[in-house]
C-alpha cells in the first residue's frame, strides 16, 4: 500500500466487507434509526394536531428528516467503534506500520461510514414511504438534503475517529456518542422551534443542529429555509473535525 488512494480503498474494502457480512456490525446501525422513526413518527403522531404545528408534509415527514440526519451522525459514530475495535485487535497498529500515506486510513474509514449510512438511509426512506410519508421537495431539494446528510456523516466520523485514535479502546465509546446525542436532542426534535418554551427553546435557538434540522425539513417540504447557514455549519464542522481527526492520527502514530 503506497499511495493515498490505495490505502483508503484497502481500508474501505475491509470495513465494508466486514460490515455487510457480519450482522452484529450491520444490524445496530439499521435498527437504531428504525426504532426512533417508529417511536417518534408513530407514537407521537397526534402532535400534528397541536395548534401552531404547520409543517406542510405532515408529522411523519417532520420526524423522518430528524431520523435521516440522526442516522447520518450515528453512522459515523458506529464506524468510530470499528476504529477503536481495530486498535484493540492490533489491526490498526499493523496498518499504521504498513501504510506510508496514513491520512488514507481516515479516508478509508470515511468511505465505510458513507456506504453503511447509504444502506441505512435507503431502508429508513423505504419504510417511511410505506408508512405513507408525503414528499413535497423536488429532486434538487432532495439532493441537497442528501448532501447535507453526507456532510453530517463525515463530520461525525471525523469526531469519532479522533476520539478512537486518541484512546484506542472501545471504552471511549460514550465519549464518541454522548456529545452528538445531546447536540441532536437539544434541537427541535418533536415540535418546531416556535413551539418550544423555556430553557430548551433558548438552547435550541443557538444549537447548530437546529439549523441543520430546519434546513433539512424545509428542503423536504419544498420550502427551503436556513439552507446557507446549515451548509456553512456542516462544512465548518467537517473542516474543524478534520484537524481533530488528523491530530488523533498523530497521537496514534506516536503511541506506536
The per-residue pLDDT for range 13-72, each reduced to its tens digit, is: 999 998 888 887 788 888 888 888 888 777 777 787 788 888 898 899 999 999 999 999
Rounded Cα–Cα distance for residues 115 and 19 (Å)? 10
Q: Which of 96, 95, 94, 119 is nearest to 19 (CA)?
A: 119
Q: What is the mean pLDDT of residues 138-158?
A: 96
Global pTM reads 0.93
Give me the number of domains the chain comprises. Answer: 1
Rounded Cα–Cα distance for residues 39 and 211 (Å)? 23
Mean pLDDT of the chain: 90
Q: What is the mean pLDDT of residues 204-216?
A: 96
Tell me the pLDDT tens digit for each residue of 92-128.
888 888 777 788 889 999 999 999 999 999 999 999 9
For 25, 105, 152, 159, 165, the CA distances from 169, given in Å and listed in that order, are: 17, 17, 24, 15, 8
Which residue blocks in the chain are alpha helix, DSSP H? 4-21, 23-37, 43, 59-89, 91-98, 103-130, 139-167, 173-185, 198-206, 208-220, 227-255
Q: What is the mean pLDDT of residues 153-158?
A: 97
Tell me the pLDDT tens digit for each residue of 122-146.
999 999 999 889 899 999 999 999 9
Predicted confidence band at 2 (pLDDT cuts at 50, 70, 90)?
low
Range of the domain at 251: 4-255
Tell me the pLDDT tens digit for each residue of 180-195.
999 999 999 988 998 8
* Residues in CB range of 254: below 8 A, 6 or more apart: none
Amino acid at each position: 500500500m503506497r499511495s493515498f488512494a490505495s490505502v483508503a480503498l484497502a481500508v474501505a474494502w475491509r470495513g465494508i466487507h466486514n460490515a455487510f457480512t457480519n450482522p452484529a456490525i450491520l444490524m445496530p446501525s439499521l435498527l437504531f434509526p428504525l426504532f426512533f422513526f417508529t417511536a417518534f413518527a408513530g407514537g407521537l403522531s397526534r402532535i400534528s394536531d397541536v395548534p401552531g404545528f404547520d409543517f406542510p408534509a405532515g408529522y411523519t415527514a417532520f420526524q423522518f428528516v430528524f431520523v435521516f440526519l440522526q442516522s447520518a451522525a450515528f453512522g459515523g459514530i458506529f464506524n468510530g467503534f470499528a476504529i477503536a475495535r481495530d486498535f484493540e485487535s492490533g489491526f490498526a497498529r499493523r496498518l499504521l506500520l504498513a501504510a506510508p500515506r496514513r491520512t488514507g486510513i481516515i479516508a478509508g474509514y470515511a468511505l465505510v461510514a458513507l456506504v453503511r449510512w447509504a444502506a441505512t438511509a435507503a431502508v429508513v426512506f423505504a419504510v417511511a414511504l410505506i408508512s405513507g410519508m408525503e414528499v413535497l421537495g423536488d429532486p434538487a431539494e432532495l439532493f441537497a438534503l442528501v448532501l447535507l446528510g453526507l456532510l453530517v456523516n463525515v463530520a461525525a466520523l471525523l469526531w469519532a475517529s479522533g476520539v478512537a485514535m486518541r484512546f484506542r479502546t472501545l471504552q471511549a465509546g460514550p465519549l464518541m456518542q454522548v456529545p452528538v446525542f445531546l447536540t441532536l436532542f437539544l434541537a427541535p426534535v418533536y415540535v418546531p422551534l416556535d413551539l418550544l418554551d423555556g430553557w430548551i427553546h433558548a438552547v435550541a435557538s443557538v444549537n447548530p443542529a437546529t439549523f441543520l434540522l430546519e434546513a433539512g425539513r424545509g428542503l423536504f417540504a419544498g420550502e427551503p429555509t436556513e439552507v446557507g447557514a446549515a451548509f456553512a455549519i456542516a462544512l465548518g464542522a467537517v473542516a474543524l473535525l478534520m484537524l481533530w481527526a488528523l491530530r488523533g492520527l498523530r497521537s496514534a502514530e506516536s503511541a506506536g
